[in-house]
Structures are given as structure tokens and as C-alpha cells.
Amino acid sequence: MGGVSSVSATETIRVSEIFGPTIQGEGVLIGQPTVFVRTGGCDYRCSWCDSLHAVESRFRDSWIAMSLDDIWGQIEALSGGRPLTLSLSGGNPAIQPLGSLIERAHQHGYRAALETQGSIARDWFSDLDVLVLSPKPPSSGMEFNGDALLDCVRSAGGGPETVLKFVIFDEADYQFATQVAQLLPKLPVFLQPGNHTPPPPEESDAAIDMSGILDRMHWLVERVMQDRWFEAKILPQLHVLLWGNLRGV
Ligand SMILES: C[S@@+](CC[C@H](N)C(=O)[O-])C[C@H]1O[C@@H](n2cnc3c(N)ncnc32)[C@H](O)[C@@H]1O
Ligand SMILES: Nc1nc2[nH]cc(C(=O)O)c2c(=O)[nH]1
Ligand code: SF4
Ligand SMILES: [Mg+2]
């Protein structure tokens, strides 16, 4: 036990932003009050990424290597010390050593959820309460690595509630989602329409193409019903409907 604490005390976590409390805007936890820790750095470069400020190295200078105590201090301040669900996102949060943060959250009665594309598996996934795996469809321009995704599911084991969440822009993305879902038939599936207008990251609230998002959402509902895919859930990004591309919400 002493060993684990001494290691975690010296490790730092690269953080892009910590914000909240707000509502979780996507997927299985939609609507839940949450504080976000967004880590800096990603092994992917999705063509439509809405969080480039946590991905591209030109924003590196804005990322801070923080100690566990400093991160925890901010989470407690934002949540007023009242336990809620911590949402770990990024970038790819699996790059960072988050095991000790998850442990700290649990010690204080908080829950921990993590969103990742499923490219890097960690043994601490099994300590999460919720693991959201969001494999990237063809429109992202990224190559799918099925073995890495299966490794993530294996690492999580029976620990967290593990779910799949797909961003869908078009028919090819939809077909990809159906195929990956068939690989992992036990996992709940969430589908969300893509948002085509990532803001220049320097700006906080660039206009968004709301009618495009809603058109894709309508199409997606029809498409899923046509297939009688009644296990899938279709949700918009609630925070985008409410605040557009504003950062920190
Ligand atoms: C910014 S990513 C960070 C976590 C991780 N890298 C991942 O992609 O899962 C968080 C979620 O936002 C989704 N997302 C990113 N850009 C989007 C966009 N333009 N429209 C809809 N969802 C998007 C991702 O697919 C992912 O499910
Ligand atoms: N409210 C809110 N919900 C979210 N769900 C996933 C987000 C993310 O960027 O990872 C996100 C976000 O940035 N804000
Ligand atoms: S994997 Fe996630 S954070 Fe990385 S580029 Fe894609 S959407 Fe953005
Ligand atoms: Mg987001």
C-alpha cells in the first residue's frame, strides 16, 4: 500500500482543463451532474475533433503537469466537496496515469467515468465506475484497431459499466457502428450525430451548424428504426444543443 501511495504522490497528470459542475452531455450518463478533468495529448487526430485544444501539440503550452493533490483540490472546490461523478476525458485520458485519481475519487465517495477511443488499454480501467469506449468511424480518418478495443474491454473486466458510443456522420459511419457492436454484443450502444463545426480552439463560442446536427439526428433515428436496431440508444450532445461549442461546459 505504501508503495502505491509513494508512486502516485510523485506522478503528475497532464491536464488541459478542469471544469464544472455541469451536466454530462453525452451517452450513458447524459444529464448527470459532473466535473470534467480533460487531459492533454492524444494518439489520434480525428478530422472533426471538437477538443483540439487538448489534442494538438501547438496547444501544449496550455497543458499543465499537475499533482494528484492539486487536481483533487480543484475537483473538491468545484463540487463543494459533495460527491458526484468525475468525467475523465481528453485528448486520450488513457495516456495519463489516472489510477491514483480514480482511487482518490472513490476514497471521497465520488464516482469515476472515462471516455476513450479504445486505442490504449490500462489495467486501472477495472477501477472505473463507467468506461465509455468511442471507436472512431471512417469519417474521422482514423484506422480502427479492433485488437486494441478488445484489450480495453478485457482490461476493464467486470469492474465498470462498459459501453460503446459512436459518432455518426453518414452511412459508412453507421455501418461501422453496427459492425463493431456485433464484435461486442454485450455492450450497450449509444449513437450520437456528429457536429461538423469544431470551433477554432482560440475562440470560445463559434457558431454551430445546429440544423445540420438535427438533420443528422433525424436521419439517424430513421436509419436505426429501419434496421429494427432496438438495442441502440440515439442521443444528441446535450451540451452542444445548450451551449454550442463553448469550452468549459
Ligand atoms: C473529445 S473526445 C475525448 C475522449 C476520447 N479521445 C474519445 O474520442 O473518445 C470525447 C467524445 O467527443 C466525441 N466527439 C469529438 N468530436 C465530436 C464531434 N465533432 N461531433 C460529435 N462528437 C464528437 C468523441 O467521439 C468522444 O466520444
Ligand atoms: N457537458 C459536457 N459533456 C461532455 N461529454 C463528453 C464531453 C467531452 O468533451 O469529452 C463533454 C463536454 O465537454 N461537456
Ligand atoms: S480520439 Fe478523441 S480527443 Fe483524440 S482526436 Fe479523436 S475525438 Fe479528438
Ligand atoms: Mg466534447
Domain ranges for the chain: 13-246
Residue from 49, 131, 152 whose mutation best tests the ligand 1 pocket (most atoms within 8 A of CB): 49
- ipTM surpassing 0.90, yes or no? yes
The rounded distance, in Å, linking the Cα atoms of 221 and 234 is 7
Would you give the DSSP letter of residue 216?
A: H
Which pLDDT does position 196 carry in this prediction? 83
In three-state secondary structure terms, 214 is: helix
**13-246 belongs to which homologous superfamily?**
Aldolase class I (3.20.20.70)
* Span from the CA of 50 to the centroid of ligand 4 (angstroms): 6
C-alpha cell of residue 50: 471538437
Name the nearest CA neighbour of 124 among 147, 149, 150, 96.
96
- Residue 115: nearest ligand to its CA? 1
Strand partners, 236: none
* pLDDT value of position 6: 42
- Tell me what pLDDT residue 199 has: 52
Nearest ligand to the C-alpha of residue 140? 3
Residue nearest to atom 7 of ligand 3 (CA): 49
Which residues pair with residue 15 across a beta bridge?
39, 64
The per-residue pLDDT for 200 is 53
Give the Å distance between the CA of 26 and the centre of ligand 4.
9
Pocket of ligand 2 (CB under 6 A): 22-26, 51, 89, 115, 239, 249
**CA–CA separation, 37 vs 118, rounded Å?**
18
59 neighbors 39 (Cβ within 8 angstroms): no
pLDDT at position 9: 54
Distance 249 CA to ligand 2 centre (A): 7
Q: Are 47 and 141 in contact (CB under 8 A)?
A: yes
Residues within the annotated binding site for Mg(2+)? 51
pLDDT tens digits in sequence order for the chain, 249 residues long: 334 444 455 789 999 999 999 999 999 999 999 999 999 999 999 999 999 999 999 999 999 999 999 999 999 999 999 999 999 999 999 999 999 999 999 999 999 999 999 999 999 999 999 999 999 999 999 999 999 999 999 999 999 999 999 999 999 999 999 999 999 999 999 999 999 875 555 555 567 899 999 999 999 999 999 999 999 999 999 999 999 989 999
pLDDT at residue 174, as a whole number: 98
CA angle 237, 216, 242 (to 5 degrees): 30
Residues of each annotated binding site for S-adenosyl-L-methionine: 48-50, 91, 134-136
